[in-house]
Structure 1
């Protein structure tokens, strides 16, 4: 079984945020010099699982797969933009998602089942290792749910089902009601399949994605190593809204106080880093004149347009 190399690149980048050196993980590749960012390269399922196993054991967090799925938001935005070019309805988008998993990440199958009222997207993984299986399913579940949520209008959001007795952490991170079931499933109304994809949200994503990627690649003067990791984590977690501190802190194997102390030592704070990102995005969006002020405010995490406009005045006067 072959896995597209960028999937393992994502593990390397996430491992760095957990304090795990890339060279440690590369030891598990047959070719430890492989360019894992090249989408023309592949790794074996054995290589991927060994790297994932090292991360899971070192991080030692029962919600590893869930948090890792959250980290992949920027990757999800890229896939959504690509799907939007080739699909007009949700049914077409689901077919493309199925093909994407089958061709690049065949650990997980996306099975579409239908009855008189609902269509159910059921995730299936045949791995024997239950721990790795659940983490992989959690990651893909989060990834797919966020994509569908961005494609749909609010009134068509799906019902989520998970095979766990305690789903509190999932409910908080996914910001959704979750019911107990026998599998990782996403339940939609049958009517949704024929509804056109939410073009407004897709247009926002297609417009913002290049800027997010530029900001990720851009070197930042004055940023030391940990501050840069926090900045890149914020950008990676954008969906396209920016994460709050409570969401970000779960991605590091550190307490909230330790994260704040390390940032202070480097002359930064979460608020300052987040504010700098908001300012750069705000300038980009204002110049583009393609997104309304109230939508810019929402993307940047302001509860009201007036709060965003107040921040713009503060930035302009600084």
Structure 2
């Protein structure tokens, strides 16, 4: 059985962020792009995950990897939005994608008058690693639907391994499953015109690559994690510290050793994001304020003037003059 290497790549990237040393034979997978069709064997897939499993003292790393790939999901969701109009169509597209690229995972759908339940399973005896894979798949499905839905979605995610340390929304169950209201599938897919994902996602990815090429510091690793978890709004310190298996306080202490802080990292990223948004006329001031998490454009403009010493309109005009 062959598996798309793109499915192992997020696990490897997340492991690197957590400080796991990867053997040379695994590193080529880190360089593949979404358009690559590299396939790996089932033993190679499991071998990579077993390597990470023995290095990470965290039984929830499958779920955390699922949260880590938010930015890549945005790119996938943008491509889906060009082809479908309802969540039912989008979900069918996602299931077909999973079946063709990760065939070892089987899905079973059960529908009642009010609810749809999707169970996932793997028919082999790799119990420990299957848990990681299946919890990861369920996390990604929940993130995908949440990003596409036009309303708040309540999910019930189940795992036979559930314990009190699981994230909110998870509960104990006989199998691995996700359930949500059936009516949701009839809803239209969320349109995201203010975000201009076709521009935003490539720019975020370029920024990640730029940070990767810079100094290999803990602060830069946190920056990469923040960007990777963006949907496209930047995550808060609680989400980031949880992904790193740290408390917010421990995260701040490690950053302080490098004369930094989480607030300073977020501020620096906002300034860099703002710089490339300004160069795309498609983004209005209101759109930029929304993407950077400001409740009102006025609050964004106030911060912008502190960063750049002038208004967004004037800075944008100066960029235009330079590029003319």
TM-score scaled by structure 2? 0.82
Conservation of the 8 A alpha-carbon contact between 2:115 and 2:181: yes
The yes-or-no answer on 1:163 pairing with 2:159 is yes
User: What does residue range 38-187 of structure 1 map to in structure 2 within 5 Å?
Assistant: 39-155=36-152, 157-164=153-160, 165-166=162-163, 169-171=166-168, 177-187=169-179
Structure 2 Cα separation of the partners of residues 256 and 117 of structure 1? 39
Q: Where does residue 209 of structure 1 map in the other structure? A: 201
Structure 2 Cα separation of the partners of residues 213 and 161 of structure 1? 30
Conservation of the 8 A alpha-carbon contact between 1:72 and 1:236: yes
Conservation of the 8 A alpha-carbon contact between 1:111 and 1:123: yes
More displaced 10-residue stretch of structure 1: 269-278 or 214-223: 214-223
- Structure 2 unaligned segments of length 5 or more: list them: 311-324
Against the structure 1 CA distance between its residues 154 and 58, is the aligned structure 2 distance closer, same or farther, given a 3 Å change threshold?
same
Structure 2 Cα separation of the partners of residues 34 and 216 of structure 1? 17
Among 213, 236, 249, which residue is 1:244 paired with?
Answer: 236
The alignment partner of 1:169 has SS state of coil
Q: Where does residue 191 of structure 2 map in the other structure? A: 199
Conservation of the 8 A alpha-carbon contact between 1:167 and 1:178: no
TM-score scaled by structure 1? 0.83
The yes-or-no answer on 1:273 pairing with 2:265 is yes
Among 37, 41, 56, which residue is 2:32 paired with?
Answer: 37
1:156-184: CA deviation from partner (whole Å, max 9, x where unpaired): x143231355355311xxxxx44543333
More displaced 10-residue stretch of structure 1: 275-284 or 146-155: 275-284
Conservation of the 8 A alpha-carbon contact between 1:35 and 1:41: no
Conservation of the 8 A alpha-carbon contact between 2:195 and 2:291: no
More displaced 10-residue stretch of structure 1: 1-10 or 264-273: 264-273
More displaced 10-residue stretch of structure 1: 306-315 or 232-241: 306-315
Structure 1 Cα separation of the partners of residues 194 and 143 of structure 2? 13
The alpha carbon displacement at 1:105 in A equals: 1.6
Conservation of the 8 A alpha-carbon contact between 1:161 and 1:183: no
The alpha carbon displacement at 1:231 in A equals: 1.4
- Structure 1 unaligned segments of length 5 or more: list them: 172-176
Structure 2 Cα separation of the partners of residues 206 and 167 of structure 1? 39
1:181-229: CA deviation from partner (whole Å, max 9, x where unpaired): 3333332333322322011379543342122112112258974432322
